[in-house]
Copies of this chain bind each other. A is one copy, B any other.
Amino acid sequence: MAFEFRPMRSVIFVDCVREEYRHRLLHWLYAMHVPDSISKFGPYVTKYAFYNALPVPPGGERFGTRRMQMTEHYWLLNEMTPEMSVNAFTERMPVEVLRWQGMIPDDGVDLSHEANMDGDTHRASGGGDMPPFVFAHVPINWEEDFKGAGRTLDDGPNYRWQFVVEWPDEAAGEKWFREQLVPFFRARPEVNRFVTSKIYHDVVGCKFHRLVELWFDGPEEWKTAVDAADALPKPAWAQTERFPFLKSNFNIVGMFLPDMAASDNLTQYRGYITMR
């Protein structure tokens, strides 16, 4: 058995489909999932952080904006190989958790007595009709830097728009990205920073092609910029009439994030402590 050094970053965009579930998801994430996860991957993950989703801005819905958090890992190796498949414990993942995240229908069917679902099954659980579970592995540093290199923390807090895209046609989509989208956003005065990486397909079978991040001063600047994008010509492969021309929450999924992690779990977690 061989263990290859393969440093990677991964991002997961976790949704919360109903406000009735937000505090339950929080409880599961911090009381159960963080300790289960650290127990499992502590020896080969070097950063494991949660970033709270900022509220969906007006107009954000058509970009597949999710509402709970971005879960980020930095890996030293690929956890999905055969030699990594046996684990002492399986993470607790009650099926209700999938419902709260929008991975199974929020239809009231009682699934509370279903068997526990392990993390990997969960990661693969997005059915045909449900939005995909987004678990995208990328290089540990960004591959391409289109704008804003040299920005420091003193240049101000950032409103970071992070999203993945799955082009209906990869070649055409990539061409459009380079020829239309990159020049457009690079030229927008509201865009302070613009970076991107291709997504590895060989890790968890992620179908998305590209992870993109654009930084703005705030949601108002973001809106100005994406509204201006309505002037972009509609590409041949367009799935929708308006920019981004992709099926929301299926072909484009993303989140608005601050610079700061809500919890850098490996260094900050100290158990589930409650308000008195």
Contact = CB atoms under 8 A, between A and B. Distances in A.
Nearest to A26: B258
Given A19-B55, A44-B46, A83-B141, A273 B149 contact: no
Given A143-B1, A260-B275, A26 B157 contact: yes
B274 A86 contact: no
Contacts of A42: 46-47, 273
B271 A271 contact: yes
A118 interface: yes
A195 B38 CA distance: 20
Given A43-B9, A139-B83, A19 B89 contact: no
Given A38-B271, A260-B27, A271-B38, A88 B7 contact: no
Interface in A42-88: 42-44, 46-47, 49, 51-52, 54-55, 57, 72, 74, 76-77, 83-88
Contact of A150 (B40, B90, B159): B90
Contacts of A74: 43-44
Interface residues of A, number: 94
Given A27-B258, A36-B153, A267-B270, A160 B275 contact: yes
25 contacts: A1-B139, A5-B5, A19-B54, A19-B218, A20-B217, A24-B156, A34-B271, A36-B152, A40-B276, A42-B46, A43-B74, A52-B52, A83-B143, A84-B141, A87-B142, A87-B276, A88-B274, A90-B150, A91-B152, A115-B150, A160-B275, A261-B273, A263-B263, A264-B273, A267-B270
